[in-house]
Structure 1
């Protein structure tokens, strides 16, 4: 798999920064080449054409439909981070969830 690009979003882009760091550590241990960034939700429109997955903080569940509509033309899946992964800074678990979503999306896009 080529380098994967994941964007984590929270309100201001700060709280997700800690989780992004944990995901980078997990990706390295999994031998996955990944660019994982944390930004605020207002930057999604600028980055949507250059990402493979959009992760939303649990407190942003209310914008999932809007973000899905924005990301759909670019075939970018949108996932709300499970609260327990977010609160526990579970980079490994979130990296595994992300890889599964990206692989599933690529399969659907290639065969769909």
Structure 2
């Protein structure tokens, strides 16, 4: 079974709770073991272990360079598609994460 461990980054770590559920549901439907952790942007450095990808909520897109510098190309970092985030499209966000992870 394929696995992916996603770190979602937002302002306070709370606005993504519904998105987490939808991403994990999409993973289950596709038989992908999906683990999603949401953290506030200022707490990212303490939660990098065992992550495969970091996805930033559109509201913290201005922190992308800072987070990329923190992970030093060890993990892919991307901004979640604004439409997918706004509609809480867990399947689309999961596909974005999977597309960023090297097999």
TM over 0.5: yes
**Unpaired stretches in structure 1, ≥5 consecutive residues:** 108-112
Matches within 5 A, 1:27-106: 27-72=27-72, 75-102=74-101, 106=102
Q: Which has the higher strand share?
A: 2
**Unpaired stretches in structure 2, ≥5 consecutive residues:** none
Count of aligned residue pairs for this structure pair: 103
Indicate the structure whose relative CO is greater, using CA pairs within 8 Å and at least 6 residues apart: 2
Confirm or deny: 8 A CA contact 2:2 2:31 kept in the other structure.
Answer: no
Aligned partners of 1:12, 1:83: CA distance in 2, in Å? Answer: 18
Provide runs of 4+ in structure 1 moved above 3 Å.
Answer: none
Q: Which has the higher helix share?
A: 1
What's the C-alpha RMSD, in Å, of the aligned pairs?
1.4
Aligned partners of 2:58, 2:68: CA distance in 1, in Å? Answer: 15
